[in-house]
Structure 1
Amino acid sequence: MQYYIKNRGVIDVEPLFLKPVFQEKIWGGNQLHTVFGFDLPNDSIGEDWAISGHPHGVSVVENGPYKGWQLDKLWAEHRELFGNAEGDVFPLLTKILDAEDDLSVQVHPDDAYGLKHEGELGKTECWYIIDAKPGSEIVYGHNAQTREELAEMIENGQWERLLRRIPVKKGDFFYVPSGTIHAIGRGILILETQQSSDTTYRVYDYDRKDEQGNKRELHVQQSVDVTTVPAISPELEVQETKHGESSIISYLKTDFFNVYEWEVAGRLSLTKEGAYTLMTVVEGYGNLIVDGQTYEMQPGSSCILPSAIQTWALEGEMKIIASTPGK
């Protein structure tokens, strides 16, 4: 596929498939291998940074004219691929998380606090539950009514009184704005769409110790500073449209990202809705067809559709979580 850029000539454009970046975690497991077939360095891998321009785990393009390019460099030097979008950093990050054990109870700052105190964006995120073992649950919100009560309950370790726990199942979706106290529980496999930030403030970590016998650092004061009090439970306006046997579910349209589920049963034709599109296969197999070219898709396949790609089709039996930059 080609398109013309003034003063640049003809540029080859095709989907940008990205190599996964694995992150070892104290709570990680091996489902990124058993479910998605990734070759893991060990059995404590908690995260696949599937699409990332963040310096803590930058994706590398695996195909086409930009093969070998890092996503952050591509963003800096070929902004035309992203509709000449503004911003110093690639704004989105897609992860797959394998919670073999409970993640810490945590909270993320908004942009203003993150930029002032950490030098990077805040972190609003959302979760699609790929799978969950029976009895799995998440921490989602808290019961403190004032910031003073929040600090007191944290100080006194009143976790059962403070934290709201919600059972989850495969196919659930949650919006987690900055300021939301949250934790992914053990036995859950998640696709996370988030701002490109790695700032996490730990509220509580179950007094766990690492291999050296040290407890992980907590960030109590920062957590109290940035937590939304009282807690807010966002109302989702989920919309589903059928396309033959296939369907499109719109989960979120926010200032940070718009998130969709594409359930492909046979064929699904799609048209560009954002400056560029991120997509990750969470289940099943099929093909992505762009300008007459066919690309095989399997669980864990992740790519970016650059701005010049206006239409595409999906064939097979698969579920994909897709996102575009915020409205």
Structure 2
Amino acid sequence: MSGRKFSVIPFEANRVWRSYLGGKLLDTLEGVKEAADGSFPEDWIGSVTAANNPDNRSPEEGLSRVRLESGESVLLADLISEDPEFYLGKSHVDRFGTDMRILVKYLDSAIRLHFQVHPRAEFSERHLGVSKGKTEAYVILSVRDDVKEPYIYAGFQRPPSREELKRWIEVQDIAAIEASFDKIPVKVGDVFLIPGGCPHALGEGILMVELMEASDLVVRFEYERGGFTLPEESRYMGKDLDFGLSVFDLEAKPASAFRCEPRELRRFDDGSTQRLLIGTDRTNCFVARSTCIEKSITKSENGFYIVLVTKGSGILRVGELTLALEPFSRALVAAGAGEVRIETEDGLELLELAGPRF
């Protein structure tokens, strides 16, 4: 790349420290010779959101950088600030400024994650002075071979009272907490939406794309996983247990409430199809689409989006710019990019993850 205004911005790996184990599959994708699970199980994509990690971590951890042809590495956030309307679109900037409002990750779990819950936007604004919560979505990409019954928890299906939940958390009665959920089976291609306020935990051995509101706000009410014990300040967003309890939605939720059923948006002349995975009928926080390309398509979208390759290979063209696409390639397509042409010889499947629609 040259200059400072790009219709398409590819991203390199941007691994982020987390308090659970995973990342072996991400290592493999990056060509690491001795791939292993560790403390970097997530890859944050097109991120202008800093990770809420311990003080000994870099304050820039989580923020995506862009490599220019000159070799210079610049923060994506700085690049966007140079021409926000081109990158994000005028209507988005009028409402949100340079805040993309979404955070996209590859997440590779080796163990079940902590039981946790995220605030709704209304709660965050009222109690934390932040204009967004953390509603999130999952697209399941693969399951490790040794995991025979992959699952997530999302609920509660059998909610405790506030007093019961407080007691369970105080004594860390994880068996009682776990018994309040049903295991929700997952398979490759499944899509889930977890609204803010709903407690949840991702099961072991799952590689997925996670799309969420652009925050790292979380109440972790299980203190130890994988040999790591959370410090007190990392459990309730720097507050106390009573504050953390106020984040929970304690109404019973059927497991079916979290599944999303994709529907066809459009069909192209070559037989390619675009499907809506998550739309404004489910949330106003973000939009998720998938496009299955048979040979070649030309299309434009309303606003910016992050594109991820889930299967196959091909070429993306915008004007004179050409970007090779391989499995797990990732890039930002600017709102001002105009028409995008995508070509493939043997088939190509993409996720397209966009900000809020209003």
| TM-score normalised by structure 2 residue count | 0.78
Match of residue 238, structure 1, among 259, 262, 271: 262
**Aligned mates of 1:72, 1:138 — CA distance in 2:** 33
Stretch of structure 1 that moved more, 138-147 or 190-199? 138-147
Conservation of the 8 A alpha-carbon contact between 2:8 and 2:333: yes
Please give the root-mean-square deviation of Cα atoms over the aligned residues, in Å.
2.9
Higher strand proportion (structure 1 or 2): 1
**Aligned mates of 2:354, 2:197 — CA distance in 1:** 23
Superposed displacement of residue 283, structure 1: 2.7
Q: Deviations over 1:55-96 (max 9, x none)?
A: 231111234699633122223332122113232533111100
- How many aligned positions are there? 315
Alignment CA distance shift 1:208-1:307 (3 Å): closer
**Aligned mates of 1:229, 1:87 — CA distance in 2:** 31
Match of residue 218, structure 2, among 192, 197, 200: 200
Q: Deviations over 1:163-202 (max 9, x none)?
A: 2311111111001111111111111001011111111111
**Aligned mates of 1:185, 1:31 — CA distance in 2:** 15
| Counterpart position of 1:6 | none
- Report the identity percentage: 25
**Aligned mates of 2:114, 2:190 — CA distance in 1:** 21
**Aligned mates of 1:164, 1:294 — CA distance in 2:** 47
| Counterpart position of 1:144 | 159
Q: Deviations over 1:119-164 (max 9, x none)?
A: 5431111010001243111111112165445445545621242123
Superposed displacement of residue 48, structure 1: 0.4
**Aligned mates of 1:39, 1:112 — CA distance in 2:** 45
| Counterpart position of 2:249 | 228
Superposed displacement of residue 116, structure 1: 4.9
Superposed counterparts of 1:103-252, under 5 Å:
103-120=113-130, 121-133=132-144, 134-142=148-156, 143-144=158-159, 146-152=161-167, 154-155=169-170, 157=173, 158-205=176-223, 208-210=226-228, 214=229, 217=232, 218-219=235-236, 220-232=241-253, 233-234=257-258, 236=260, 238-240=262-264, 241-243=266-268, 244-252=270-278
Match of residue 45, structure 2, among 12, 30, 50: 50
| Counterpart position of 1:72 | 77
Superposed displacement of residue 41, structure 1: 9.3
| Counterpart position of 1:326 | 356
Instruction: List alignment gaps of at least 5 residues for structure 2.
Output: 52-61
Match of residue 87, structure 1, among 86, 96, 101: 96
Alignment CA distance shift 1:245-1:123 (3 Å): same
**Aligned mates of 2:331, 2:15 — CA distance in 1:** 16
Match of residue 262, structure 1, among 288, 291, 296: 291
Q: The residue matched to 1:162 in structure 2 has which SS?
A: coil
Stretch of structure 1 that moved more, 310-319 or 44-53? 310-319
| Counterpart position of 1:301 | 329
Conservation of the 8 A alpha-carbon contact between 1:124 and 1:178: yes
Stretch of structure 1 that moved more, 173-182 or 278-287? 278-287
Superposed displacement of residue 301, structure 1: 1.7
| Counterpart position of 2:56 | none
The question of 1:22 aligning with 2:15 is answered yes
| Counterpart position of 1:62 | 67
| Counterpart position of 2:318 | 290
Instruction: List alignment gaps of at least 5 residues for structure 1.
Output: 2-9
Conservation of the 8 A alpha-carbon contact between 1:123 and 1:194: yes
**Aligned mates of 1:164, 1:103 — CA distance in 2:** 16
